[in-house]
A = this chain, B = another copy of it.
């Protein structure tokens, strides 16, 4: 027992989870370390943020999912140091030795050097982020209702979404539907339908990772929903009361950040080459230069293919995690590690109800068919039978009624509207 090799996996996202599962029959002791007690189905985080789903519907406790894997220990904790020379990882002040290491710590959002924007621009990478974003969005409508000054009310009804990737597009489309449909008839001093939803993308088109025809489709679909799409415009300032795009100032109380990712700082501990987003440049087998026993997978890995780099998608992370597990099993058996080959399984984005963009190799789908495809794929890949059923119920009820079933403000974070005084100087008569 004491001589079994020790494998540490940092991160219980798609890459880490698929690696751990692939090691279930390996003759090794595996330690999975994660900062949170649950795996999150990230593709649906925006639905928690927009009050369509409850947080537990897209999360599963890691311990529970992996309880039958007898060679595995799960540890909740923060990794603060990786010492590749001494072959150990420090988590919560405690050193953990390893023979093999997989770092799958993912990415967080970056504000392009403007960390002071964080307070006023919610990101969306964790469930806490999603609940914070939900509180901001719901509070903005409450504050618009309570606002005395028309300009103030308009600022509470202006939502700026920064970043035109799938998350930005999905947030913008959903917000437009919430404003036009979900909240209809619920307010007395303003019309939620008058809300302005702005999607700002610095590049020339939304969904930049998709083919151009799908970008054009998504842009049109967003405009039909009432979203104003700005492409080729960069946000140059974010403050509590609005954003600047070059010289133009937009009064907006709610800024949702779906731009720029920055790799986990753990990548910098490795002493190897990183790209400008902090992602670790790995070798063909996903190990790092000089340390064949250390692997990096998922969004944290910069993997070159013939034509570019492997994208930061759930399907890519799963493939990398599974590949590392296969390589480790081969190594433990005395074999060698094959190179990683990325299989492009396509990408999807929804744009509100009954509209989506799907790109699968040469196949492109739009409209209702794409939307059904998106829905089926997400239900299929969602982990846990109960979650699938509850998500289906929420979606079915939402589809017929436009209701959003998680419209509760809990634990609003500092910086969300909820911690600022509700009203201004003078007094309205609410009746």
What B residues does A427 contact at CB under 8 A?
93-95
Most B CB within 10 A of own CB, among A75, A92, A430, A431: A431
A404-426 CB contact bits vs B (8 Å, 1 = yes)? 01111111010000000111000
CB of A209 within 8 A of chain B? no
The answer to the question of A288 belonging to the interface, with a C-beta cut-off of 8 Å to chain B, is: no
Closest chain-B Cβ to A350's Cβ sits at a distance in Å of: 21
**With A38-B409, A56-B54, A408-B55 given, is the CB distance from A188 to B97 under 8 Å?**
no
A410 touches B127 (CB 8 A): yes
Number of copies: 2
How near does chain B come to A227, taking the closest CB pair, in angstroms? 23
CB of A403 within 8 Å of the partner chain: yes
Are A423 and B386 in contact (CB-based, < 8 A)?
A: no
Q: Which residue of B lies closest to A65 (CB)?
A: B186
Checking B38, B188, B407 against A61 with a beta-carbon cut-off of 8 angstroms, the contacting residue is: B407
Name the B residues within 8 Å of A6 (CB-CB).
431
Which of A37, A73, A410 lies at the interface centre, i.e. has the most chain B CB atoms within 10 A of its CB?
A410
Name the contact of A37 in the complex, choosing from B29, B386, B407 (C-beta under 8 A).
B407
Q: Does A284 contact B (CB under 8 A)?
A: no
Is A57 in contact with B55, judged by CB distance below 8 angstroms? no
A224 within 8 A of B: no
Inter-chain contacts of A64 with B (CB < 8 A): 186, 403, 407
Q: Which of A113-121, A154-162, A388-396 is the contact stretch?
A: A388-396
A406 CB contacts on chain B under 8 angstroms: 54-56
Q: Which of A59-103 contact B (CB under 8 A)?
A: 59, 61, 63-64, 67-68, 73-78, 92-97
19 pairs from A and B in contact (CB 8 Å cutoff): A37-B409, A54-B56, A59-B408, A63-B186, A64-B403, A64-B407, A67-B186, A73-B189, A76-B142, A76-B145, A76-B422, A77-B423, A92-B422, A94-B423, A96-B429, A131-B410, A131-B411, A385-B397, A390-B394
